[in-house]
Amino acid sequence: MRLHRLTLQAFGPFAGTHTVDFDALTADGLFLLHGDTGAGKSTLFTAICFALYGEPPVDRELMLRSHHASDNLLTQVTLDATVAGRRLLIDRVPQQKRPKRNGTGDTLQKAETRLSRWTADSLGQGHWEPSSKSHQEAGKEIKDLLGMSRTQFCQVVLLPQNEFTKFLYAAAPQRRELLGKLFHTDRYAFIERWLNDHSRTVQKSRDAARDEVLHLASRIHQAAGPSLKSQHDAPTPDEPHTLTRPALTWARDLTQASQADAVKTHNDAETARKNQLAHQELENDTRELHQRQTAHAAARAHLDRLNEQTPTTSRSCPGAVNRPVARSNWPPCCTQSPPPAPTTPTPKTLNATPAPGCCPNTRRFRPTTSPRPDSSCATTSPY
């Protein structure tokens, strides 16, 4: 904010109309306002605060009208200032008593506020354009442009007597709010809030990543078992630095060890498969040999039983070999089925002619009463 001109009329100790040209005072930089006690130094600051906010700095019930002013002269303050890049003309008349225009006696003059803006027309000529006549609208617009309330303005920009001590002893939150509005530290407050929020977000992400790493490490421990070993230490929650790159190195080392163990296991499995095939072939050969030996033993036992069932005689024919003959090696005449038994049980003498190839003295059947065979020939028959 920059002040250009202040006009006081019947205000405080100033009975007439007085104007302060701040542009002329600030032409050389800083200026000093001094004078005797009661000369009206504080009244200038009171007039500035009243023009901006419609109220005096400290006591709102302060009598603003000068006791030395004539009855026909209204108390009025006009301030020409540039606020936030906008040049404004603020004209305020406080509530006061004035003589009636018609008749005798006094009447109550209501408070008035007129706000104007300096604008330029199409020809580039500037003029004051009325903006508002409402106390609320004018007060809100000025407060928004200044960025602080009347109390904050009096604590920072305009320090009445004994008010600076209150500012120094004010609570930290109050001073922080006031100084923040004065120096526009809201951007830094926004950055601080963003950093705090981002810090909490990063902390949550870090905790989630730490839990995930520990969970994966536990699963790797369970999958690896006691057989797989690593040259590096496993990550632990007590040592946060092991949860980053050392954890990755440990996992890679276990992965390489597991791959080598998998290759060795595959080779052992292939060798075991080949041995299994060889043992299966040997088992098949052994089973086949056992079956053959069993069949041979059964055949040999059957042959022995047949030999035991084959009868022999003690007599022998000249030139005949006295040895048992297997039934399968008998001549066809000896292997034929016997004829049916005769219906008459009268014994007969069998004088049938032997079949060709049979021994002349061989009898196919042994009747109940058979003639004595020739003594010169042995009888060999299975019956």
pLDDT, tens digit, for every residue of 112-154? 999 999 998 878 788 898 888 888 888 899 888 888 888 878 7
Predicted TM-score (pTM) of this structure? 0.46
Pairwise pLDDT comparison (201 vs 245), residue with the higher score: 201
Average pLDDT, the chain: 78
Using CB atoms within 10 A of its CB, is residue 156 exposed (0-12), middle (13-18) or buried (19+)? middle
Q: How confident is the model at residue 376 (pLDDT cuts 50, 70, 90)?
A: very low
For the segment 32-42, the average pLDDT, to the nearest whole number, is 82
Considering the chain, what percentage of its residues have pLDDT values greater than 90? 25
Looking at residue 326, what is its pLDDT?
52
Pairwise pLDDT comparison (246 vs 369), residue with the higher score: 246
Q: Residue 372: pLDDT above 50? A: no
Looking at residue 328, what is its pLDDT?
54
Q: Residue 346: pLDDT above 60? A: no
**109: helix, strand or coil:** strand
Picking from 41-45, 183-187, 336-340, which range would have the lowest pLDDT averaged per residue? Answer: 336-340
CA distance 92 to 133: 10
**5: helix, strand or coil:** strand
Strands (E), the chain: 2-11, 14-21, 76-83, 86-93, 96-99, 106-109, 112-120, 126-132
Looking at residue 19, what is its pLDDT?
93
CA distance 28 to 160: 25
Q: Write out the two tokens for 289.
A: 């040999």
| Each residue's pLDDT tens digit, 272-327 | 999 999 999 999 999 999 999 999 999 999 999 999 887 654 444 444 444 555 55
**Unique residue bearing structure tokens 């303005």:** 153
Kindly list the distances between the CA atom of residue 129 and the CA atoms of 88, 92, 120, 303, 318, in Å, as whole numbers in the listed order.
Answer: 10, 16, 9, 146, 172
Q: Residue 82: pLDDT above 90? A: yes
